[in-house]
Amino acid sequence: MRGAQITGWGLSLPDTVVTNADFEARLDTSDKWIVERTGIKERRHGGTTSGLAVESARRALERAGRRGQEIDLLVLATTSPDQTVPATSSWVHHQLGCRGAAFDLNAACAGFVYGLVTAVALLDAGHERALVIGSDTLSQITDQNDRNTAVLFGDGSGAVVVEATEGEPLILAHDLGLDGSLTRILYCDRGGFIVMEGREVFRKAVRATVESAERVLKQADVTAEEITLFIPHQANIRIIDAVGQRLGIDPARYAICLDHTGNTSAASCGIALSEAADAGRLKDGDLVLFSGFGAGMTWASAVVRWGGAPVATIGAGGPGERE
Ligand code: UT7
């Protein structure tokens, strides 16, 4: 497989902070319940899916030292597109001045990892430089008067620039999957609000995430002890703890943003990765385990080797340039 590397990362959160106290003031809930049952203290509301995506992507491009026109593949993972048609990625592609292909991908909360795996496969097929963005504004499709869901979801975006290189593969193993018989435990009809059987989603999420993560560790021939950073989908700290315990990864190696972002769906793994990278928690050669799950019910895991030896990225002349 062709080499690839993450060369830039960035995140974007709307300005409006919604605390547990804000919910406490108007719903039959409490800060204590929300923190103990979910691990969430606050979340951000506002913005649009495309606007947040553009902002996180600009930061990722800046970090990579790249301009939009150097990107020939844009994958936008989202469950909350700004419009039905055209794809939200069209707006993002235009505002960033990218060339080549762009498309939306809906794998719900597993979207970022689905997007990363898809982009890397397309780099292998000849594209040269990709933006992978997870962006969601679930506050717009959440009934803010329903305590079962309102306290859980937040808005945000996380992005990475991934470049084809002459070096090592980025993804050592991946596992994408779905059980479509579970569509009714978590859904949102057009024009409606998110409906969720929380307890059932919780149970299935733990099992799916553990099994998927175990598959990629085995495929990559890597032990849990060798994982420097575990980047799970950020839905509930109790799900993350249950998964971490079963895999044998201690909490010091989790990347967590849930406490201040809530569940940002397709954005969550991108935001957690960006914060961890900004905090200097990753160095060249480190192994990162991503694992996400979401409505569908989807799941996605990947073992990623961070950085690696300095390698030349592939020059201009990928598929996008032929247009
Ligand atoms: O990204 C993928 C999408 N979502 C998820 O992954 C979410 C997965 N599920 C969960 O995270 C948890 O199931 C929840 C956080 C949604 C609920 O936690 P739980 O420990 O599974 O609680 P529960 O559903 O067993 O409900 C316990 C009680 C219920 O009351 P009764 O029926 O026992 O009287 C709920 O009505 O807690 C009640 N409850 C609340 N109480 C205070 C539900 N939401 C709230 C709330 N504040 N916000």
Ligand 1: which of 148, 149, 207, 265 to mutate, judged by most atoms within 8 Å of the beta carbon?
148
Interval 115-135 mean pLDDT: 98
* Nearest atom, ligand 1, residue 265 CA: 1
Q: Which residues surround ligand 1 with Cβ inside 6 Å? A: 29, 33-34, 37-38, 109, 147-148, 151, 186, 196, 198-199, 201-202, 205, 235-236, 263, 294
Residue 52 has pLDDT above 80, yes or no: yes
Output the pTM of the full model: 0.96
Residue 219 has pLDDT above 80, yes or no: yes
Cα–Cα distance for residue pair 134/242, rounded to 1 Å: 25
pLDDT value at residue 42? 98
Instruction: Tell me the Ramachandran region of residue 262: left when phi exceeds 0, alpha when psi lies from -120 to 50, beta otherwise.
Output: left
Q: Which two tokens stand for residue 129?
A: 């430089």
User: Is 152 in contact with 263 (CB distance < 8 Å)?
Assistant: yes
pLDDT grade for 183, boundaries at 50, 70 and 90? very high
CA–chain centroid gap for 312, Å, is: 27
Cα–Cα distance for residue pair 262/303, rounded to 1 Å: 24
| Ligand 1 midpoint to CA 198 (Å) | 6
Cβ-Cβ contacts under 8 Å for 311 (sequence gap 6 or more): 3, 5, 165, 166, 167, 168
Cα–Cα distance for residue pair 181/200, rounded to 1 Å: 13
User: Is 155 in contact with 52 (CB distance < 8 Å)?
Assistant: yes
- The single residue listed with the structure tokens 């709307």 is 14
- CA-CA-CA-CA dihedral for 141, 93, 67, 264, to nearest 10: 10
**Atom 12 of ligand 1: nearest residue by CA position:** 198
Q: Which two tokens stand for residue 2?
A: 């062709």
Cβ-Cβ contacts under 8 Å for 228 (sequence gap 6 or more): 253, 281, 282, 286, 287, 288, 306
Domain-by-domain residue ranges, the chain?
1-313
Annotated catalytic residues are 109, 233, 263
Interval 109-126 mean pLDDT: 98
pLDDT grade for 315, boundaries at 50, 70 and 90? low
Among 189, 203, 108, residue whose Cα is nearest residue 143 = 189
pLDDT value at residue 40? 98
Q: Which two tokens stand for residue 39?
A: 């691990």
Among 168, 136, 98, 186, residue whose Cα is nearest residue 310 = 168
**Atom 48 of ligand 1: nearest residue by CA position:** 147
Which tens digit of pLDDT belongs to each residue from 240-276? 999 999 999 999 999 999 999 999 999 999 999 999 9
pLDDT value at residue 308? 54
Ligand 1: which of 40, 79, 202 to mutate, judged by most atoms within 8 Å of the beta carbon?
202
> Residue 248's CB: how many other CB atoms inside 10 A?
11
Radius of gyration of the chain (CA): 18
The chain-wide mean pLDDT, for the chain, equals 95
C-alpha distances in Å from residue 194, one per residue of 119, 137, 149, 208? 28, 12, 7, 21
pLDDT value at residue 320? 39
| Ligand 1 midpoint to CA 94 (Å) | 40
**Atom 23 of ligand 1: nearest residue by CA position:** 199
How is domain 1-313 classified at the architecture level of CATH? 3-Layer(aba) Sandwich (3.40)
| Ligand 1 midpoint to CA 185 (Å) | 13
Ligand 1: which of 33, 37, 155, 193 to mutate, judged by most atoms within 8 Å of the beta carbon?
37
| Ligand 1 midpoint to CA 148 (Å) | 6
Which tens digit of pLDDT belongs to each residue from 284-296? 999 999 999 999 9
* Nearest atom, ligand 1, residue 147 CA: 48
